[in-house]
Amino acid sequence: MDKETIIQNTIKFVKTELKNAEGGHDWFHIERVYKNVLLISKDEKVDAFVVSLAALLHDIADPKFYNGDETVGPKVATNFLKEQEVDITIIAHVVNIIKHISFKNSFDKKAEKFNSKELEVVQDADRLDAIGAIGIARCFNYGGFKNRALYDPEIAPNLNMTKEEYKNADAPTINHFYEKLLLLKDKMNTVTGKKIADNRHQFMELFLQQFYDEWNGKL
């Protein structure tokens, strides 16, 4: 089976699997990350097939929707790619990207380490979708999905969380900006990722200033 056919089969598979997904982690999130990967890859020496498959399958079973089980996604991706008769070395690389892409893994200093240029590209592509205008929309969409408060001045962001604390956090949505979104700009791996992140980061800062001004009756 040729690579383009496998990519198209993967797109169909992901669309079907995520047809009822929460709005911030649905097919359209995957599609945006896939487009980001194609954009970033133009300036990076990476395996286009690997980054494409990893982008399309990175959230095929997001642990937050599977009681925190981080094994489901890699298993689903592995089984699907085997059905597509993808080479086992490529499957292993894609699955390693899925296992290590998440921001929450940065809290776990004892976690198994893995790195590749392909991981860096897919990680940047995914993180870009967590910031800027769409990042803000996704953040509040998920906060609403979890019935979280918009903001509570009495609850300060937790800037020293463990991985478990991050996974189980139920703080107001605004806190997530300080616990994750505003940190992503400085965690970008690629030149293109950093450039796009700078612009989206500035937009988030403007949004937060407007939010606080409105909250405090200044505007």
pLDDT at 105 over 70: no
Q: What is the CATH number of the domain that holds 103?
A: 1.10.3210.50
Under a CB-based contact definition with an 8 Å cutoff, are residues 1 and 85 in contact? Answer: yes
| Count of the separate structural domains present in the chain | 1
* Mean pLDDT, range 156-171, rounded to an integer: 83
Split at pLDDT 50, 70, 90, the class of 200 is very high
**How many other CB atoms are there within 10 angstroms of residue 34's CB atom?**
23
Specify burial of residue 38 (Cβ count, 10 A radius: 0-12, 13-18, 19+). middle
**How many other CB atoms are there within 10 angstroms of residue 26's CB atom?**
18
Over residues 20-50, the pLDDT tens digits come to 888 889 999 999 999 999 999 999 999 999 9
CA distances from 55 to 2, 123, 128, 186, 215 (A): 18, 9, 13, 21, 37
Tokens of 12: 């169909």
Plot region of 68 (φ>0 → left; ψ -120 to 50 → alpha; else → beta): left
Split at pLDDT 50, 70, 90, the class of 109 is low
CA angle in degrees (0–180, nearest 5) for 52-63-196: 45
**How many other CB atoms are there within 10 angstroms of residue 217's CB atom?**
6
Tokens of 48: 């286009």
* 205 three-class SS: helix
pLDDT of residue 45: 94
pLDDT at 107 over 60: no
pTM: 0.91
pLDDT of residue 156: 95
pLDDT at 65 over 80: no
Structural domain range at position 14: 3-215
